[in-house]
Structure 1
Amino acid sequence: MELKLTHAFRQAAGLGIIAGMRTFSAPAVISHVYSRHPERSLKKSPFQFIQTIGTSKVFKVLAAGELVGDKLPFAPKRTNAGGLIGRFAAGALCGATVYKADNKKPIIGGLIGGTAAIASAFGCMFLRIGLGKKTGIPDPVIGAIEDVIVISAATALAKDL
Structure 2
Amino acid sequence: MTSSNLFWGALALGAVTGMRSMLAPTMVSRALAARDDMDNVDEPARTLASRRAQQLLLPMAAAELLGDKMPFAPDRTIVPSMMFRALSGGVTAAALASARREPVWLPALIGASAALIASEIGLKLRKPYQKKALTNAALGLTEDCVALTLGSAGIRQALER
Q: Secondary structure at the match of 1:83?
A: helix
Q: Which moved more, 1:39-48 or 1:73-82?
A: 39-48
Q: Which among 127, 135, 153 is matched to residue 156 of structure 1? A: 153
Cα deviation, 1:101-149, whole Å, max 9, x if unaligned, reads 233221111111000000000011112235x39x997212211111111
Change (3 A) 1:89 1:73: same
Secondary structure class of the residue paired with 1:103: coil
Kindly report the root-mean-square deviation, in angstroms, between the aligned alpha carbons of the 2 structures: 2.3
Is 1:96 the counterpart of 2:72 in the alignment?
Answer: no
User: TM-score, normalised on structure 1?
Assistant: 0.85
**How do residues 1-161 of structure 1 correspond to structure 2 at under 5 angstroms?**
6-40=4-38, 43-129=41-127, 132=129, 138-160=135-157, 161=159
Q: CA deviation at 1:82?
A: 1.2
User: Is contact 1:91-1:114 (8 Å) kept?
Assistant: yes
Show structure 1 runs of 5+ residues with no match.
none
CA separation of 1:138 and 1:128: change in aligned 2, threshold 3 A: same
The TM-score, its normalising length taken from structure 2, stands at 0.85
Counterparts of 1:33 and 1:154 in 2: how far apart (Å)? 11
Relative to structure 1, the CA distance from residue 78 to residue 136 in structure 2 (aligned partners, 3 Å threshold; closer, same or farther) is closer
Classify the secondary structure of the residue corresponding to 2:74. Answer: coil
Structure 1 residue 150 displacement after superposition: 1.3
The share of aligned pairs that are identical, in percent, is 26
Q: Choose between structure 1 and 2 for higher RCO, CA contacts under 8 A separated by at least 6 residues.
A: 2
